[in-house]
Chains A and B, each alone.
Chain A
């Protein structure tokens, strides 16, 4: 309504301005000038610059009066006619009677002009000649010309006009100032009054409009048009309005802020009546309308005409710029409560033009960005344009696309924040802003944006939720809904009872839309709504009521027979948490209801049944019950209930398994009784603390992860070992002893050459085991839980732990295993040895049998990589490196002998290697001082001696000093 009311103003203005030369129009021009409070920036504009306005004026003139083919400067003789036309145009607005006498009648007699015949949307409905009139918003109506028909009314109108126009004309010449002030005062009064009445009459108008359009849905027909009609929660409404009003200073300019603040505080206080607020606001929005137009119009129409004023106005806007903290309003709530309606009504109420983007529109990020920019930055060329307010409906709807919208909004908000920090002088600021408007994509959010969603916690909205002002809609009270429904039924002449209506409202959970649709449907079928149900024999109990199937006795007028029809329950599934809550929480029985407790129980079961089967997700439902039921407080001294519950859960499990195997989905129906049985046994009265069945899901995920780890590991082992090993047998039988074996107590972390022969054997044995099981120690990043690496006792930053993490397998919560980890130094030695062993084995493997080339390659690769790791591990290692070098020969030989047990082919290699050991030992005893050079020599000697396997030594040599094997740069870079 607001919108329509304001629409003609600028239009008229323009029209009148175009005829500005006429003396009797001065009053109107003056009204234009003063009646509205213009922003300081362009208060001088209409006065000083008739020139810039001229081009606009004829255009408007042509547009509206084109069909009349009158010469632009109208002769005085046609003044009457003209006046009448202008009047008719006003009348033509339909709801503009008030405006009409606002302008032409300081006198008190407010005459309601009959609209129906003189003006219509269709030319065919008008007898005689008609004139098409186009409103700036595109509405086109045809107005009847007064000369031909409708003499009485035309004459009366004309009379009215002449009556006032003559004094006008006479007054202009004589007392200009006093008259102006007088009329202004009178007009302001009239305006306020008119606005007030217009808001009042909305209701009336809406009703009077109904008979004309019968095809409309009731939902649309009775949609609230004004703020006061809103059904939604009063508090929410006010909050939304308050938020919108906070934009005023930004959108409309600073000068309104004073009054705006008043309104804001009034809103805050919630003390003033809505009526008063409404009229107030209307007045403001009205008065705001024009300045904004001129303000925004000037840069568009005459960008170069008044740079100073322009800059001033802009700077005013930007300097004032105290938009609300949260730029975006997020309304959420179940469907049908009137979120969209509220957004529209409130925005219109505050003087915005609502632009809606909903799910049906293209919502990709790019398209929505341009749309938002349009809304935020542009104004329509039409002179009457109001600032726009963007309403994004169903923002949670489409995940992929909805996200685009959210992202754009977030981007704009963020841009604003960063912009705020670097603010320069006003002039520059305008420059920058103007530039940024054209070139930069990220623009500030200067207009209110209202987002509407059903599910606040939709993943797409996660970020928006943090920056937006969130309002959750609550259900309106049933009485409110019923009152409205009653009213509508009355106006539609539909017979019903309030009990039935309240049942309906209850049933749909106050979804007004579905209520109205149902009612209209029944009305169409000429059926009366009655509730037939046992529920009224009991004290009215809201909780029961919902589950009572609503029977509508349908009285079909043609037949006298009675028919019954069930209105389908709103098919709404509750969240799984609610389902669990319902299952595990008993309803408190009232004392009065105790007598019928049996009946109540039946109902409870019924309701549970529908609830669970509606949800359908039996697997998760059962998991949740299992997770939570043990923590309930139920009386069960002998645990019989517990046993029964678990038994029955077991049945459900077998049932699920059976269903999956045989694909007989219909058997799922029997899951529901299982849940109900449990509910009957363990449900408690107090509110249970429901937890998501994390443990079960987590255990599943972890199990898979561990299995995967073990499988990969098994594939890495040498096939001679892995073929005998299954994952289960490893965990069951091997893991614990294996860990013990890997960490012998007797091994001392000393330099290798200090070890006794037996210890060396042991070391070789461990290394061999580790290699064949492809286990090694790895640098592990610091793990917060100490238990994660029990084998690592050291609290050093660089702790080594087993890789793959076998020790995790025996780590149970609250259980201290007896495994003792090796010392860090020992581990380092082991890492070193294992790497060496691997390399040796690889080369041997290449020589011997070409088994799994790929594996070896990757192993060798990782070996080289790890070698460098091992080298860099610590100074300690470096110190012991020399010694290990001495020993390397020995060790390798030992391993060779060890591996020869299963490798018959390598048996011939054994003898020479033993000899080599002997030789080497002898050699070292001779020259222990300059061991390093000697060892090389010794190795070379050994190479010569061991003619059958020359390559091993070559390799060994490469390991100690220089790598003499083809290494790709890529491999080195991997480190």
Chain B
């Protein structure tokens, strides 16, 4: 068991990073009812942890006994019968699922599967909780149609079912869905908070932390708590008695992106662009989201860039990211950004150095 999992707070009381949010959630649940919830925030900030702690708060230990099911749903669309296989975790009180796994058929998942589950009242309704909870992950990846279908489900079955939605960015969830939920923003933890967590873990593991070491890890983690803890464990595994100048091993893909950045800065030509394209393919093939690539690439480029150009490059990065989201072939847009950068950068070089 990794430390990430080992030291994950199980109850709302033990949550350290978002203690304010946790307090509010507990108050919310202690009342009789609870609205639909929408958790959003950057990855590695603790949304899922909060959700699970909340569910435990609601239903007690019974919610911890979950089982994994790979269920095949047969959906009759009128003209033909679809078969959708969906993995879901379920306890007697709640169900967790990831409807966007169904790809372009997610609409049917929402319309049929979720509706089906939302309809069924929990049998042991004699207690105070007369509803079951559906946890839907990655709602922002749902297609527009699916989200629209979700809207109706939320209203119609609100008496027997609560939805907890979880996503990275609320901007991709339609207004209609957002307005039906209580939106809970889960901030990325600040570096101080991360340091606190790391020190807590260090104490539990009986590790001696040299001063500033946790801060360095926190700085490198990009305010991602999961990453920070993993870095911490990696450092521990690699060299235990920590030294203050110990190197935190970088993420491989980030390393690769910075190599690309160096490539771009050394030469600007269609030929180099072609080489860069191959590298982009390598990254994309390995499931690295193109948005992350663009973001990281921009960060790497900005580090080595003249201040005059920074603003313009940021503008173009935003421009191409926007276009990337509109289209489907990420490589076109990534490349377009690199080409644009090359063009701007070269012009700048010629202007300054002649």
Contact = CB atoms under 8 A, between A and B. Distances in A.
Q: Do A and B come together as binding partners?
A: yes
A731 B286 contact: yes
Interface in A725-739: 726-729, 731-738
A433 interface: no
User: Of B96, B268, B332, B335, which is in contact with the most chain A CB atoms at under 10 Å from its CB?
Assistant: B332
A51 to B, nearest CB: 75
A773 B326 CA distance: 36
Contacts of B131: none
B259 A815 contact: yes
Given A812-B282, A898-B1, A737 B48 contact: no
Interface in B198-237: 224, 226-227, 230-231, 233-234, 237
Contacts of B346: 637-639
A723 B89 contact: yes
B81 interface: no
B29 interface: no
Contacts of B259: 815
Contacts of A707: 287
Interface string B159-183: 0000000000000000000000000
A712 B68 CA distance: 13
B284 A703 contact: yes
A715 B87 contact: yes
Size range of the chain B interface in the assembly:
35 or more
Interface in B263-297: 268-271, 273-274, 277-279, 281-289, 292
Interface stretch (A536-544, A642-650, A864-872): A642-650
A809 B287 contact: yes
A653 interface: yes
B246 interface: no
B342 A745 contact: no
A700 to B, nearest CB: 9
Interface stretch (A484-492, A849-857, A916-924): A849-857
Nearest to B280: A699
A740 B238 contact: yes
Nearest to A706: B287
A710 B89 CA distance: 17
Contacts of A636: 270
Contact of A646 (B44, B271, B335): B335
Contacts of B224: 733
B273 A654 contact: no
A696 B339 contact: no
B83 interface: no
Contact of A740 (B10, B226, B249, B331): B249
Nearest to B268: A639
A746 interface: yes
Nearest to B343: A639
B65 interface: yes
Contact of A849 (B65, B69, B96, B284): B65
Nearest to A734: B230
A732 B269 contact: no
A732 B288 contact: yes
Interface stretch (B110-118, B189-197, B250-258, B304-312): B250-258
Interface in B102-155: 137-138
B5 A812 contact: no
A728 B326 contact: no
Contact of B2 (A654, A726, A769, A904): A769
A716 to B, nearest CB: 9
Contacts of B278: 695, 813
Contacts of A732: 43, 251, 253, 288-289, 292
B315 interface: no
B286 A901 contact: no
Nearest to A720: B5
A685 to B, nearest CB: 17
Contacts of A817: 252, 255
Contacts of A950: none
A736 B251 contact: yes
A715 B332 CA distance: 33
B43 A639 contact: no
Given A653-B327, A734-B230, A812-B252, A699 B65 contact: no
A498 to B, nearest CB: 49
A639 B332 contact: no
A737 B249 contact: yes
A519 B330 CA distance: 53
Contacts of A511: none
A630 B224 CA distance: 38
A744 interface: yes
Contact of A744 (B226, B230, B238): B238
B327 A656 contact: yes
A699 B285 CA distance: 5
A721 interface: yes
Interface string A748-787: 0000000000000010000011001100000000000000
A723 B233 contact: no
A657 B259 CA distance: 31
A740 B237 contact: yes
A640 B230 CA distance: 43
A637 to B, nearest CB: 8
A731 B253 contact: yes
B27 interface: no
A702 interface: yes
B43 A729 contact: yes
Interface in A798-814: 808-814
B323 interface: yes
B285 A702 contact: yes
Contacts of A815: 252, 255-256, 259, 282
A110 interface: no
B340 interface: yes
A654 B327 contact: yes
A813 B274 contact: no
Contacts of B8: 724
B66 A719 contact: yes
A626 interface: yes
Contact of B67 (A653, A719, A733, A736): A719
Contacts of A731: 253, 286-288
Given A636-B270, A732-B289, A740-B249, A646 B43 contact: no
A657 to B, nearest CB: 5
Contacts of A855: 68
B243 to A, nearest CB: 14
Contacts of A768: 1
A818 B328 contact: no
A630 B271 contact: yes
B336 interface: yes
Contacts of B332: 626, 646, 649-650, 653
B226 A745 contact: no
B329 interface: yes
15 contacts: A630-B274, A631-B270, A639-B269, A643-B339, A649-B336, A721-B5, A724-B48, A733-B224, A733-B226, A734-B230, A738-B2, A740-B234, A810-B252, A813-B279, A899-B1
* Nearest 4 A/B pairs, CB to CB: A653-B327, A646-B336, A737-B230, A810-B252
Given A723-B48, A732-B288, 20 more contacts: A630-B271, A637-B346, A639-B346, A646-B332, A649-B332, A650-B323, A653-B323, A657-B326, A699-B281, A723-B96, A728-B287, A733-B251, A734-B4, A736-B252, A737-B234, A738-B2, A740-B249, A741-B234, A769-B1, A810-B286
Interface of B: 1-2, 4-6, 8, 10, 43-44, 48-49, 52, 61, 65-70, 87, 89, 96, 98, 101, 137-138, 224, 226-227, 230-231, 233-234, 237-240, 249-253, 255-256, 259, 268-271, 273-274, 277-279, 281-289, 292, 320, 323, 326-329, 331-333, 335-336, 339-340, 342-343, 346-347, 350
Interface of A: 623, 626, 630-631, 634, 636-640, 642-643, 646-647, 649-650, 653-654, 656-658, 695-696, 699, 702-703, 706-707, 710-711, 715, 719-724, 726-729, 731-738, 740-741, 744-746, 762, 768-769, 772-773, 808-815, 817-818, 849, 851-852, 855, 898-899, 901-902, 904
